[in-house]
Structure 1
Amino acid sequence: MAAAEATLLSQSLKTDRAPGSETAETAATVARTSVATAAAAAIVAAARTGSETRVSKAALATKLLSLSGVFAVHKPKGPTSTELLNRLKEKLLAEAGMPSSEWTKRKKQTLKIGHGGTLDSAAGGVLVIGIGRGTKMLTSMLSGSKRYIAIGELGKATDTQDSTGKVTEEKPYDKITQEDIEGILQKFTGTIMQVPPLYSALKKDGQRLSTLMKRGKVVEAKPARPVTVYSISLQKFQPPFFTLDIECGGGFYIRSLVSDIGKELASCASVLELTRTKQGPFTLEEHALPEDKWTIGDIARSLGHCSSLFPDQLALKKSKPEESNRQNLSCEFKTLNETKGEGDVIKTF
């Protein structure tokens, strides 16, 4: 009994003598345990997150490869149509977890994306995009009508017939009235003959005329050819600027139209701004995706929405299961050149 009491007293005295030191030691142990537990949890969470990310990227890659059809994007002024398509492709690849450097190394062709109906770099508006088997539908886009809002500038001609070129001629325009412009527009309605601009995607000896011009080569203008203007109206006239609303067929050059209008008015003119508001069934307001919606999900929804715009004979058949589940990402580049003109070039990647 005395021994037991002595033991208890001893333990009590030890506790009383060093309460701070044992508490500190216990706290340190708990802290070390907490850090280790947190680290282990972080490792597990990271592994789980990494696994989930890989699964998510694989699912997105599968969804990207299953996209097939035709949709439209809103092209801003500045980039060429091809540059914009590359930007779109890179955004989709990044979302699917496939860097462009890996994409270009692949040889097996499993995904195609292209555009039909080139817009000048200085122009903006609707650009039709085909993805998957939808690239085969782009040719049909070229035969449909297109609509533009063009702002022309009287009294100034440039070598490119728009604001990006060098001024080649200046003439008076102060006597030109709104009635004068409205009075000559009928001459540019219906089937008319038009000379394509020298700065265009039309080719000579396999090279674009615009490329040859930039190299300082002597280039002869292509002969006039028939084109169609369905409607044209003057929306605004504030000299020297005039705004036109034009609906036309394939192969038509707005730059040539504005230049010809200037000549018809005994002056000269060039395009200051150009916006395509419609191509085929696609309109700028309803169908053209802005860049912040260039995602796999938004494009999938747009494809579903736009599928009703085409006649039954152009509808795409459903993909076979084995086709939609393929996850090899690669690309193909080919160019299909129509004979109609710069606005009728199909580029497929």
Structure 2
Amino acid sequence: MAAAEAAVLSSSLETDTASVPETAGTAAATAATPPVSAAAAAVAAAARTRSEARGSKAALATKLLSLSGVFAVHKPKGPTSAELLNRLKEKLLAEAGMPSPEWTKRKKQTLKIGHGGTLDSAARGVLVVGIGRGTKMLTSMLSGSKRYIAIGELGKATDTLDSTGKVTEEKPYDKITQEDIEGILQKFTGNIMQVPPLYSALKKDGQRLSTLMKRGEAVEAKPARPVTVYSLSLQKFQPPFFTLDVECGGGFYIRSLVSDIGKELSSCANVLELTRTKQGPFTLEEHALPEDKWTIDDIAQSLEHCSSLLPAELALKKSKPEESNEQVLSCEYITLDETKGEDAIIKTC
């Protein structure tokens, strides 16, 4: 019986196998159907993903265009303030999926971004940034108080008044004591007169003095002008280096201060390191966003937090998002030089 059943099963299998050629077309069509369906599903899924991505980018772009106010970033040593602003802009554009700058030149300007108070490329610290209507507040940031930690080097003078320049003079400093330095700081506190450095953002005939100097052109020093030093103290002295904590008003140059201190000590000096620890209400530790926080969401949160730091007369009302038909972004850089009443507006994209 078992043998008979086995024979029947065998026969059945043989019959099925033999019948395959007769139904090959049908079987092939049936086998081909799943891949076609899978491909269609993959195409549909990809389309949904692209649609969702576009929707997400559109939402980010709308949020970016709605940002308005003042916040702070942490500028490292190396880039100029303008270069850092450009880096910030590129990160925001990339995150929002905005078109290339070349394309946006033809479109309506919808966003402004700028910084208030230039930091030298060799300096680091707080850089205040205005975005949207916040760019109108940058002048107040420029004229407000700032705080710096500066490390000076005795015995060497340079053409730029800092370590990036060419040494122009060397004098002994071995007789200088901590008491000597502390004893002269009062002369540089309060309302004083200061001659700006030749390598600066101040202008002659529409061009920066630093640009003219780099070209080798003869440049005359600007006349001394009134500046304010709110506080000045010696933090450390390890000859030839001395560390100062300075709080000053707008238009003040730390490089000139350090140079003048060296001269007052019958020697010379230049700035070795410079860090801006505070500008207006913004501090380096609490408010300055590091580069990994240069995102639309992080900046939005910072704007919300920083709005409470500003005086009532400067506080901005929450701005309405731009019209939804604005598809592109064009930028205006407003670079305010570290001088009273002098600002350069650079429109780029």
- 1:10-25 correspondence runs (5 A): 13=11, 15-16=13-14
Matched residue SS, 1:56: helix
- CA distance, structure 1, for counterparts of residue 170 and residue 54 of structure 2: 62
Per-residue Cα deviation, 1:66-98 (whole angstroms, up to 9, x for no partner): 000000000000000000000000000001101
Q: Give, as a single letter, the amino acid of the residue that structure 1 aligns with 2:177.
A: T
Cα distance, 1:338 vs structure 2? 7.5
Alignment of 1:90-129 (within 5 A): 90-102=90-102, 104-129=104-129
Tell me if 1:48 matches 2:48. Answer: yes
Provide closer, same or farther for how the CA distance between residues 207 and 102 of structure 1 changes in structure 2, counting only shifts above 3 A.
Answer: closer
1:314 corresponds to which residue?
A: 314
Corresponding residue for 1:155?
155
Matches within 5 A, 1:211-230: 211-230=211-230
The aligned runs of 1:211-250 (5 Å cut-off) are 211-250=211-250
What fraction of aligned residue pairs are identical, expressed as a percent? Answer: 85
- CA distance, structure 1, for counterparts of residue 290 and residue 335 of structure 2: 25
1:166 aligns with 166
Q: Deviations over 1:241-289 (max 9, x none)?
A: 1111000000000000000111111111000000000000000000000
Contact 2:67 2:319 in 1 (8 A): no
Residue 346 and residue 102 in structure 1: after superposition, are their counterparts in 2 closer, same or farther (change >3 A)? Answer: closer
Contact 1:106/1:331, CA 8 A, preserved across alignment: no
Residues 16 and 155 (structure 1), Cα distance of their counterparts in 2 relative to 1, 3 Å cut: same
Q: Residue 327 of structure 1: CA displacement?
A: 3.6
Residue type at the aligned position of 1:230: Y
The 3 A distance-change label for structure 1 pair 91 and 174 is same
Q: Corresponding residue for 1:4? A: none
Structure 2 equivalent of residue 179 of structure 1: 179
Aligned to 2:68: 68
- Segments of 5+ residues of structure 1 without an aligned counterpart are 1-8
Normalised to the residue count of structure 1, the TM-score between the two structures is 0.89
Q: Does the 8 Å contact 2:115/2:334 carry over to 1?
A: no
In 2: Cα distance, 1:324 partner to 1:68 partner:
17
SS in 1 for 2:332: coil
Aligned to 2:3: none
Deviations 1:153-177, CA, capped at 9 Å, x for gaps = 1111110000110111111111111
Seen in structure 2, the aligned counterparts of structure 1 residues 29 and 177 have a Cα distance that, compared at 3 Å, is farther
Give distance in 2, aligned partners of 1:42 and 1:125. 50
Deviations 1:22-75 (A, max 9, x none): 6xx999888755543432222111111100011011111100000000000000
- In 1, distance between residues paired with 2:163 and 2:341? 20
Gaps of 5+ in 2: 1-6
Equivalent position SS for 1:301: helix
How far off is 1:180 after superposition? 1.0
Local SS of the residue matching 2:89: helix
CA contact (8 A) 1:338 1:346 kept: no
* Residue 136 to residue 20, structure 1, CA distance change in 2 (3 Å): farther
- 8 Å CA contact 1:103, 1:331 repeated in 2: no
Q: How many residues align?
A: 338
Does the Cα contact within 8 Å between 1:103 and 1:329 map onto a contact in 2? no
1: CA distance, partners of 2:18 / 2:259: 94
